[in-house]
Structure 1
Amino acid sequence: MANPIDGFQIDPDGLRYVGEGLQRPECILAEADGSLWSADARGGVVHIRPDGTQRLVVQDQSDSFGQNSDEARRFTEGTLPNGLAFDRDGSILISNFGTDRLERMQRDGRSEVVIDQIDGQPIGKVNFVLADSKGRIWLTISTMIRNWMKAISPNIADGYVAVMDENGIRIVADGFRFTNEIRFDATEEWLYVVETTGRRISRLRIDDAGQATHREVFGPEDTGGFIDGIAFDAYGNLWGTHVMSDRIFAITPDGDFRVLLEDFNPQAAQEMYDAFAEDRLTADQMLACGGQIAPWFASLTFCGPDLRDVAIGSLRGTRIPIFRAPVAGLPLAHWTG
């Protein structure tokens, strides 16, 4: 069977957009009814309904601490919702890059802290969360450095992957270069791990007990950019984004790397990567990068009734671009379409 992405390129003129006034729509969840849920820097998520209308749901802990209490206000102080996942009860798990913890939000905003420590120590910069078919919750921690900008370095590899199950939370593998998004393959045999500053994707073979039994690089040792998000299609291609040097790519099951869309200033991107290689990268050099479609591509989410629409999350965009793929996405654990 031929790979359905053979010869495929994303046409920028064919993009459609949903949402408006969004703030840092980094991660997007899709439901079979056509709803999208987007992380939002205002302290919660935006629910974009199938008809295009939207509603900001802000995290609220007043039920736990009392209306307008100091504790309730502190709950969202410095908040920065990042990765999202649906839990089995339909609530939304939020890996909060600002508060350094995993949180759970009901769809009306009622929220609670799930975990903020591991082995009695602060958990670190929680980046992404993923639920599997067995009910386990997988987390990525990008770095243990509070000021995460200092971890954008070729010399830092303190990220890790953790799992929460009936036995609590434990570290599965560590030593990653700014751990970012993770995804399982169709059989949940391999867990694929983005190493943003490693500019590569590693994968872990996961046994029935949730232990990593093998680790290797998948695809190129260096993809040529800072990877942020990944998503599988039903054929087995692993789609991904480069953030700042905005690019969408796919890695075939055989490890072949294919660029599907580019939207960035090559000179600014080269200056950024040269500075990174010399460990002198600044925020200004990063901010000089990014395209026009949705600056700083962050994630990809297969959506729509047939899972052939693909939504692009971003760190600096205010709306969500969507393109049509030649193949359906691999359904996530919550999908019931």
Structure 2
Amino acid sequence: MTAYEVAVRAAASLGEGPTWDPAADRLIWVDVLGSRVHTYDPATGRRTVRTTDQHLGAAKPRTGGGLVLNLRDGVGLLDPDGTFRWLHHEPVPGRRANDAAVAPDGSLWAGTMRYDEAAGGGTLSRLTADGAVETVLPSVAVSNGIGWSPDGSRLYYVDSPTRRIDVFDLDGERAVNRRPLAEIEEGAGFPDGLTVDAEGCVWVALWDGGAVRRYTPDGDLDRVLLLPAPRTTACAFGGPDLTDLYITTARIGLDRPHPVSGSLLVVPGAGKGLPQPAFAG
């Protein structure tokens, strides 16, 4: 078993989306079905919890402060003073937000999925600061992990039921030439959230796999972190040096969840992450 620590002991139904906010030296993560945005300052131990009016898939920092939220009915902006407004409002019955990530150019790539996880019911879209929306993938099942190579030439993406981490080439703002980078074998779980490290390797959390795996840019598996919580959901590097790997977990659907299921875990000194840009809006 991997040497890990419990950064925040919690009982999140569906912990997701860890993101290091360098401007505030804190980690942001969400409980999707608990409709909560959590923050954690590892230097002081200070924590905050904010409840949203809807289920949310992700919360990311903005360049001017505050957060951009991938919510059930669209993408919204939360100002530092608590003021909320919609950037893009598009409610679809039976659909909710899932994972999202900020691209090197400051745009938000936001995923959706149906509550019943029906094939083709989800999307991946790109949103700019002025609220312009471009549909990147119009028909996915469970839109999950999103990340970019260090040089910005590649996009990594997970539609969980496919059991694959896919890679695209980036032609300007367009993602082209989709192909598999790696496939998760039967019985090892489903790929969920991911992050890319400074060496260009892809770390992916495995739902029902109790693990985080690291794949090289060529798709070779070169490291496995085994964890006691079976539903590991996402991972991100954080801390002042971006060397600590934070991992979110879930309790939903488990008859006998492990005591740390739903908590935020951390593996100190796991590697070296990339600075994550803030949303330009």
Change (3 A) 1:297 1:221: closer
Which structure 1 segments of 5+ residues have no match?
A: 1-10, 60-75, 264-292
TM superposition shift of 1:175? 3.6
**Which residue of the partner structure matches residue 47 of structure 2?**
54
Letter in 2 for 1:182: I
1:159 to 107, 122, 145: 122
Q: Any idea what the Cα deviations from partners look like across 1:62-93, whole Å, max 9, x if unmatched?
A: xxxxxxxxxxxxxx1xx222222222222212
1:116 to 89, 98, 104: 89
Distance 2:131 2:83 in 1: 26
**Which residue of the partner structure matches residue 82 of structure 1?**
57
Residue pairs, 1:269-308, within 5 angstroms: 293-308=228-243
Distance 1:117 1:31 in 2: 27
Distance 1:138 1:211 in 2: 12
Distance 2:148 2:220 in 1: 19
Q: Any idea what the Cα deviations from partners look like across 1:203-235, whole Å, max 9, x if unmatched?
A: 222222x12232111123757431111111111
Q: Which has the larger radius of gyration?
A: 1
TM superposition shift of 1:38? 2.1
Change (3 A) 1:245 1:56: same
Distance 1:129 1:205 in 2: 19
Change (3 A) 1:226 1:330: same
Distance 2:223 2:46 in 1: 33
Tell me which protein shows more strand as a share of its residues.
2
**Which residue of the partner structure matches residue 165 of structure 2?**
201
2:194 to 221, 230, 235: 230
Change (3 A) 1:150 1:323: closer
Length-normalised TM-score, structure 1: 0.70
Letter in 2 for 1:139: A
Q: Secondary structure at the match of 1:197?
A: helix
**Which residue of the partner structure matches residue 28 of structure 1?**
18
Aligned length: 264
Distance 1:34 1:150 in 2: 35
Residue pairs, 1:102-141, within 5 angstroms: 102-117=75-90, 124-141=95-112
TM superposition shift of 1:239? 0.4
8 Å Cα contact 2:55-2:97 kept in structure 1? no
TM superposition shift of 1:188? 1.8
Tell me which protein shows more helix as a share of its residues.
1
Distance 1:39 1:260 in 2: 24
Change (3 A) 1:212 1:114: same
TM superposition shift of 1:107? 4.0
Distance 1:105 1:167 in 2: 14
Which structure 2 segments of 5+ residues have no match?
A: 252-260
Q: Any idea what the Cα deviations from partners look like across 1:231-283, whole Å, max 9, x if unmatched?
A: 111111100011122221111122112451334xxxxxxxxxxxxxxxxxxxx
8 Å Cα contact 1:220-1:257 kept in structure 2? no
